[in-house]
Structure 1
Amino acid sequence: MKLLWTSQHIKVTVHIDGKVSKMDVLEAIKTRRSIRKYQDREVPEELIDKILDAAMCGPSAVDERPWHFIVVRNREMLEKIPEVHPYGAMVKDAPVAIIVCCDSSLEKIPGFWVQDCSIASQNILLAAHSLGLGAVWTGVYPLEDRVEGIRRLFSIPEHVIPFSVIPLGYPAENPGTRDLFDPDRIHLEKW
């Protein structure tokens, strides 16, 4: 499998096995949906690398980049995640999951890691979608039972906080797109 990923202006071009796919960034944002059903098909390491590269391209407060990522492919571990995450049932059927974590020892400004890891998580979702994969964000932080459950399951040190679990794979569902634009939520100049 040959993969080339180029960006020209706001177009993303992906070449996989001779197939060409182009996705505009705005199109990726507007058409991305939470995918909870996956094909029984492995996700190539090259795609995971591209997704993690995109995750790390996000901005962070004072460039602290507090994130760490755990890539989980082990079937036994994927099947254990729903035991500690009540909304993680789909993880057991995904070929891979990425756990986004914050290393609190890297914090320069306390508390901003939440925004930093949120941006990294969103970049994972958008990159996966642009590469023809489906994914869903399952929140871990700030719910202590989920944080501790994921921490125990993956031997995460105390100074590292699991933030989200993102299962991903080739989609086995197509929920369609939705128009979520709501002009009633826009306020000009003041509330």
Structure 2
Amino acid sequence: MDIYEAICLRRTVRDFEDKEVKIDIIKRILDAGMRAPTNNHMREWEFVIVNDKTSRLKLIDKVERNTSESEIADDLDNWAQDQCQRKMYFDAIPKQYNMLLTSGCLILPFFRQREPLLKPGCLSSLNGFASIWMCIENILLAAVAEGIYGVTRIPFDEEIKHIKEVMKVPSDYEIPCYIALGYPNQNAKQIKQHHIKVEDRIHFNKW
């Protein structure tokens, strides 16, 4: 598949078929991730694949699963007025737990971070954080080439603490997100996207 085609086809999917993603496919996808740019040339990234249902249930135990529509609306009213954006959150928030549980493959990416992530000494202190997200984008695009789609979820503090305890993560590694991959359900919901002309966002020589 052409890279531009993969970029255009990539989309967020939260509704999956009950079908496991084969490990050889996952290895190819993760190999694509490992070819992303890295801040220190060492690619200090690790991946935990959680496909055992019992392990997955234990892992995602701290993920919220009972957020009501009124709670979502109250939160969105404070900052989100765009209707497409609101529809996305109304669809996404109630599915957070289930999408992690039912995906064909759940991947936990980790990156090495020697300084406190939320208290960086300077912008360069976040190089590892920036690099892992380039790795994740490669993973999502490679997945598309395999007919697989997915979604990321950034964990809250309580989830991060739980993940590190359950997975026995070394103290100098951090998790940026969960990556849930799988084959889209035929009724997987697609929220309308805003199409923005690139010409409207390009500046030459100055803002």
Q: TM-score range by the shorter chain?
A: 0.7 to 0.9
Give 1:57 deviation, angstroms.
0.5
Query: Is the 1:80–1:92 Cα contact (8 Å) retained in structure 2?
Result: no
How big is the alpha-carbon RMSD for the aligned residues of Structure 1 and Structure 2?
2.1
Report the CA distance shift for 1:129/1:187 in structure 2 as closer, same or farther (over 3 A): same
Query: Which range moved further: 50-59 or 91-100?
Result: 91-100
- The percentage of aligned residue pairs carrying the same residue is 28
Aligned: 1:168 with 2:205: no
Report the CA distance shift for 1:177/1:64 in structure 2 as closer, same or farther (over 3 A): farther
- Given candidates 37, 41, 45, the residue that maps to 2:15 is 37
Report the CA distance shift for 1:181/1:26 in structure 2 as closer, same or farther (over 3 A): farther
Distance (whole Å) between structure 1 residues aligned to residue 21 and residue 169 of structure 2: 24
User: How big is each residue's C-alpha offset from its partner over 1:60-90, in whole Å with a ceiling of 9 and x where there is no partner?
Assistant: 1131312111111111222334422346311
Question: Residue 87 of structure 2 corresponds to which residue in structure 1?
Answer: none
- Given candidates 139, 142, 150, the residue that maps to 1:127 is 142
Question: Residue 18 of structure 1 corresponds to which residue in structure 2?
Answer: none
Report the CA distance shift for 1:48/1:104 in structure 2 as closer, same or farther (over 3 A): same
Question: Residue 109 of structure 2 corresponds to which residue in structure 1?
Answer: 100
Flag the structure with larger Rg: 2
Distance (whole Å) between structure 2 residues aligned to residue 164 and residue 152 of structure 1: 16
TM-score, normalising length: structure 2: 0.71
Which blocks of at least 5 consecutive residues in structure 1 are unaligned?
Answer: 1-22
Query: Is the 1:102–1:160 Cα contact (8 Å) retained in structure 2?
Result: yes
Query: Is the 2:15–2:189 Cα contact (8 Å) retained in structure 1?
Result: no
Give 1:129 deviation, angstroms.
1.1
Question: Residue 158 of structure 2 corresponds to which residue in structure 1?
Answer: 145
State the aligned residue count.
164
Question: Residues 72-91 of structure 1: matches in 2 within 5 Å?
Answer: 72-86=50-64, 88-89=96-97, 90-91=99-100
Report the CA distance shift for 1:44/1:177 in structure 2 as closer, same or farther (over 3 A): farther
Give 1:189 deviation, angstroms.
1.7
Distance (whole Å) between structure 2 residues aligned to residue 36 and residue 168 of structure 1: 9
Question: Residue 114 of structure 1 corresponds to which residue in structure 2?
Answer: 129
TM-score, normalising length: structure 1: 0.77
Report the CA distance shift for 1:176/1:85 in structure 2 as closer, same or farther (over 3 A): closer
**Letter paired with 1:165:** Y
Question: Residue 27 of structure 2 corresponds to which residue in structure 1?
Answer: 49
User: How big is each residue's C-alpha offset from its partner over 1:136-175, in whole Å with a ceiling of 9 and x where there is no partner?
Assistant: 11123xx433321221232212111112110111111263
Report the CA distance shift for 1:27/1:176 in structure 2 as closer, same or farther (over 3 A): farther
Q: Which has the higher strand share?
A: 1
- Of structures 1 and 2, the one scoring higher in RCO (CA 8 A, sep 6+) is 2
